[in-house]
Amino acid sequence: MAQIALITGITGQDGSYLAEFLLAKGYEVHGVVRRSSTMNRGRIDHLQHANPSHPETSKFVLHYGDMTDSGGLNRLVKTVRPDEIYNLAAQSHVQISFDQPEYTGDADGLGTTRLLEAIRTMGLPTRFYQASTSEMFGLAPPPQNEATPFHPRSPYAVAKLYAHWMTVNYREAHHLFACSGILFNHESPRRGENFVTRKVTRGIAQILSGKSEKLRMGNLDSKRDWGHAQDYVEAMWLMLQQDEADDYVIATGVTRSVREFVEAAFSQAGLDWDRYVVLDEAYLRPSEVHELRGDPSKAEKKLGWKPKTSFAQMVHEMLENDLKLEGVDPAKHLKSVRRVPAELAAGLVVRARGDRGPRPPRSSGGSSSPGCRRHRSLGGRSRRYSRARSAAISKFSQNFSLPVSALSACISSRSSSQ
């Protein structure tokens, strides 16, 4: 008998990828959608779904529901009786949460509690996944892992932190199999148009199509750890397949500034970003999170999870999608990007030689002594290493359309953490 999964937020970026992932594994997938006068199902229209009144032979069923309606959520859980619940629904835009803090708290924070309480009161053995966020770390210094103290800096992050701790509480107090995935920024062509990464790629497409001349941006110095959403939904599923429930950080371990994202995207499109990007204070947040960089070592060790898509591939996919939407031929404008494993792109460290061991002490026996010759030899190796490193970074940058500055910063951060 097929496993049954219930996904809230199924029409979003993560929900649509997760639905595809679970359907491919033979799941019966039920999704929660909000009632609206306008349809917002573009990300899942390609998946054939049935009416909940006639779900026969269908593996994909959609139900109307809302995270602020506890009665409706209770009825839904009771009717579907899912083996797994993936709570992805949220008001997830940080800037908007400053304008709508009460609604954000109700949907993102209390909405999670309503689902957990539905599972508890019905006594179901349902496994629960909560979509937590790296924004909860806020001002905590990087790299951030599962033990890093939280310091949220927005109503969105505060609401998500409430939901995170409620998930932990229901696991410890009521023995529910409840996990939180603390996902760092993850993007794709399905990202909402008001998120900064999609704003950049869509802006480039509109510049190339002649519809815009400038791209107005806020803080370019904020640093984020960006991965591909399609890779991250696999980690969600893996968490619910473990023997014991736990919380996991899901990230690439590499941080880049918004400026570096802009530089990479414009470079792939053959444009000089300085000519088109305009700084606009209207897009600055009341309180900023300066740097987020996740440490995914726990997920790598316990879940066997690693990101598969490189940063350059992700940016290329987003650009290709947005150029097509604007009627621009990607082949005429985008540089080709070779496929490369994400861990190679993230951890490219050129070593002139293997482990050289500790440096021997300097000998006082003169310039011809073995110790002194050894010292000179190590100095030469160091210079050769630096030249080889610089040459490799330059070549890698050209082959995979990545900015040299981003690669250098990435390698430096990875090397210092080893």
- The question of whether 135 is a catalytic residue gets the answer yes
pTM of structure: 0.81
CA distances from residue 209 to 129, 193, 265, 276 in whole angstroms, order as listed: 41, 17, 16, 14
User: Token digits for 411?
Assistant: 């390698």
Residue 416 clears pLDDT 60, i.e. is over it: no
The strand pair at 256-257 and 223-224 is best described as antiparallel
pLDDT in tens, 89-119: 998 888 899 999 999 999 999 999 999 999 9
For position 415, what pLDDT does the model report? 52
The count of other CB atoms within 10 Å of the CB of residue 341 is: 13
Q: What distance in Å separates the CA atoms of residue 411 and residue 385, rounded to the nearest whole number?
A: 14
Whether 156 is a known active-site residue: answer yes
> What is the Cα–Cα distance from 275 to 315, expressed in whole angstroms?
20
Count of H-run helices and E-run strands, the chain: 15, 13
pLDDT band at 307 (very low <50, low <70, confident <90, very high): very high
Mean pLDDT, all residues of the chain:
86
Q: Is the peptide bond before 143 cis (omega within 30 degrees of 0)?
A: yes
Q: Which of 51-55, 195-199, 336-340, 387-391 has the highest mean pLDDT?
A: 195-199
Determine which one of 20, 28, 84, 135 is catalytic: 135
Tokens of 2: 């097929």
Phi, psi of 109 (to 5 degrees): -90, -65
In the set 156, 170, 232, 248, the catalytic residue is: 156
Answer yes or no: 104 catalytic: no
Determine the Cα–Cα distance for residues 34 and 224; give it in Å rounded to an integer. 30
Give the separation between CA 156 and CA 264, rounded to whole angstroms.
28
pLDDT tens per residue, range 350-365: 333 233 334 444 444 4
Q: How far apart are CA 372 and CA 94, in angstroms?
A: 59
Helix intervals (H) in 240-335 = 258-268, 297-302, 311-325, 330-333
Q: How many residues does the chain have?
A: 418
Structure tokens at 320: 């290709």
State the pLDDT at residue 79: 95
Between 257 and 403, the higher pLDDT residue = 257
By CB atoms closer than 10 A (0-12, 13-18, 19+), residue 187 is: buried
Q: Which of 133, 148, 197, 309 is catalytic?
A: 133
Contact residues for 211 (Cβ-Cβ < 8 A; gap 6+): 326
Contact of 147 with 160, CB cutoff 8 Å: no
Residues 206-233 have a mean pLDDT of: 97
Q: Identify the burial level of 372 via C-beta atoms within 10 angstroms of its C-beta, where 0-12 means exposed, 13-18 middle and 19 or more buried.
A: middle
Map residue 409 onto helix, strand or coil. Answer: helix
What pLDDT shows up at residue 287?
86
